[in-house]
Amino acid sequence: MDEEDAERDRLLSVMFYMVSNGLKAAQQLDVVLRPYKGAQGAADDAETSLIKGLILDLRKEENTAAVTTLGLDATVDELEEANNNFGAAKNKRTS
């Protein structure tokens, strides 16, 4: 019973720690993301610029741990790629 109780205690501690870290990370990134909310509805060039700024902010050293904690690394990479692809398609159409 002592071993099982210790395991329960360990698992509870891990869960509380992970949730606490996730909340702190989410609160930190909420402040970073706030200026970019609504970017989806901006004009093409404005949206492109906003996304570039957002990616720069998310990749700042002070935000990388929060991005990783929330599992957003791949999403940030995909957003950058999609933004670059959009820019390339726009340039091709303009040419």
Confidence of residue 1 (pLDDT cuts 50, 70, 90): confident
Q: Are 24 and 55 in contact (CB under 8 A)?
A: no
Q: Which pTM value belongs to this model?
A: 0.84
Query: End-to-end CA distance of the chain, in Å?
Result: 73
68: tokens are: 């990783």
Q: Indicate the average pLDDT of the chain.
A: 94
Whether the per-residue pLDDT at 5 is higher than 90: the answer is: no
CA 58/CA 62 separation, integer angstroms: 9
Q: CA-to-CA distance for 63 and 32, rounded, in angstroms? A: 9
pLDDT for res 89 = 92
- Number of Cβ within 10 Å of residue 25's Cβ equals 19
Q: How much is the pLDDT for 24?
A: 95
